Structure 1
Amino acid sequence: MDFAFDARTEELRAKLLAFMDEHVHPAEAVVEEQRASLDSPWQTPPIVGELKAEARRQGLWNLFLPDAEHGAGLTNLQYAPLAEITGRSPQLAPTALNCAAPDTGNMEVLVQFGDERQRKQWLEPLLAGEIRSAFAMTEPEVASSDATNIETRIERDGDDYVITGRKWYISGAMNPDCKIFIVMGKTDPEGADVRRQQSMVLVPRDTPGVEVRRAMRVYGYEDHYHGGHAEVVFDRARVPVSNLIGEEGGGFAIAQARLGPGRIHHCMRLIGMAERGIELMCRRAVDRTAFGKALAQQGQVHEWIADARVAVEQLRLLVLKTAWLMDTVGNREAHTEIQAIKIATPRTVVQILDRAVQLHGAGGVSQDFPLAELWAAARTLRLADGPDEVHQRSLARRELKRYV
């Protein structure tokens, strides 16, 4: 395993670091000022469009997509250090580069499983950053950590599918630029194979029967950058059968294919979030005095900073190994490592950010520093794309098989 950055990665890292310093970090305060003057908090502040235009001009666009025809053609190993950099401003940088979830996963689904018409109608404007999208999987009435529980119905009626169900925490759905939902539901609820009961269909936002009912908060945050997380009701929403993605019964497999890259992308960005937490912790420790000496001279603070640095270096190596395996042997063979990083990274980054909050005192939980919002985002990722316990269960079973 060789994790040295190749020439293209080094070039993109240098451009992206400069872009962050010159454009993204200065925009973090501006975007909040602009949002306060908009008619709706879900509208996109003008500066975001300016950032996207500049990123595209510099060739920092669709970096997440390994498909060279549609994206930058980077491997996971090449993309990892770039995603880490965007994690330093996770609310703004991924959007600026058209590398923000859930659009990334939805574009990957359309590239892998969409037909020519679906790609023309929905993938192309997503790749261009002209529209946003949402992925409707999670439901409030069932434990959605087990996707076989999903109750939303997708029923065939002649040349149409009729969708009935209730979803929540549907990221991006509050954004008025969100024009398309990928909806997962059951086309064969009585099927013998519980992993062949589900299908995925494309549902335009303006379809009669689709109601974006309310915004769901995350630790009190409405998460405007993501376009919000909505509760969405499908009340006999009707779409053509041609809106089916892949084949009937293929929804579970498509979901697994979608979630693998999404999990590692989250972990890449989480490392960047941890790095920003360490930076803020060190700056605060040097600048603040308590009980007659700088916080940087306190032994407890030394332990926090040292432990954080060790943990981040460990996580980065595991994420890079996982990226390398995904590139060389495929996602299926890298399944153990994908689960390992999904378990370890959010948990560890939450701890690092929590200590950074503690070091900042009241400032750490305020809006004057990004730490509280970073902590909320990291803590949420212990649930998103499968809670820790589901991955621990699966990983333990795989380990035990070697001894049974």
Structure 2
Amino acid sequence: MRTLNTFLLSAAVMLAGSVSVMAAEAEASIDSGDTAWMLTSTLLVLMMCLPGLALFYGGLVRAKNVLSIFVQCFAMAGVMSLLWVAFGYAVAAGEGGNAFFGWDSKMLFLNHLTDESVSGSIPESVWITFQMTFIIISPAIIVGAFAERMKFAAVLIFTILWTVLSYLPMWHMAWGGGLFHHWGAIDFAGGNVVHINAGIAGLVACLFVGKRKGFPGPALVPHNVPYVLIGAALLWVGWFGFNAGSAGAASASAGMAMLTTQIATAAAVVVWMALEWIISKKPTAVGAATGAVAGLVAITPAAGSAGVMGAMAMGAISSLVCYFAVTTLKHKLNYDDSLDVFGVHGMGGIVGALLTGVFIRGEDGGSVLQFWIQAKSVMVTIVWSGLAAAFALTVAKVLCGGLRVAEEVEDGGLDRTDHGEEAYNWES
């Protein structure tokens, strides 16, 4: 018996020692500086949606619909966080599956995750949460396309289905070792995955739902321009977490991504204001804010590979293209993309993804081959997202008895009828 007790004690000591060694190795591979930066980046990207995008979109709609925008953004933060944890991460990042979908059943509900799980030089829990903020803001971007006229239940059904059918596979194709990765496409922080993907879905959605009453007309104007500017400012600051955070570490790559992001955005703001000054004789606050977003969108896929001059060119070109998309193309084609989701995120994302193949810093620079690879990835994203959105909208329409609110609801505003609240008490 004494021999058995001695054996068991020795085994327990050895096991404890092995666990201690494993924990020490995990701790040794984690860089505290990288972890601190990624924790900060995660908060910055979350701030882009709440309150950044909520304020930006909320200021652009009419007063009777501002709360509906805030509620939809909050709903995306809640629903998509749970979806990502339950199975989204397994579908996006799982090493099984194929060129379009990943899979790993052990990752469902993050059952594989432990305190010792590491991703690069940071805890995997931090990386998972960082990517969770991306899945939150992507469908939140879409809601601007059909603002002021879509049933809340239909919004939820549509965005959930689109996220499963389009966002998760795009994540896998670009960042999970799937199709775009095999092609060698460059998408540093989400040109295809986030912006083109959401922009195309927004275009399809606004076509399905139809135009707002009175479009186009003078009554459809922003109700609170300071909200728009504050929201755009929060997006601008938060985007450094979006782009520089995608380096996954506090590294030279993160530093260059921060620099190129600022340069592209600055160029886009200047070009947009100059265009308004020349064409309509007044550089507007909403125009400056929109130009900033156009520049931020364009540099997103190239933030880790473009140089300073390339970033400046990308911001300027994107601003030019997006300006004419929202002021001319939309009205010529007569579609009501309420808050210009396609015009800014879709068109800006396409410009950025294509020019990523042109403006590559270093001796080799861009190439015709890389441009073609980028173009292929853009075409796949457009078709995939468009089909996924159409299917998701059809299902939502059937389940909700239509996508659009009743005419009297649209007249009265979604705040009061859908959520039982009003943003402003005009009598006080």
Q: Greater helix percent: which structure? A: 2
Common fold: TM-score over 0.5? no
Q: Greater strand percent: which structure? A: 1
Larger relative CO (CA 8 A, sep 6+): 1 or 2? Answer: 2
Query: Normalising by the residue count of structure 2, what TM-score does the alignment of the two structures yield?
Result: 0.28
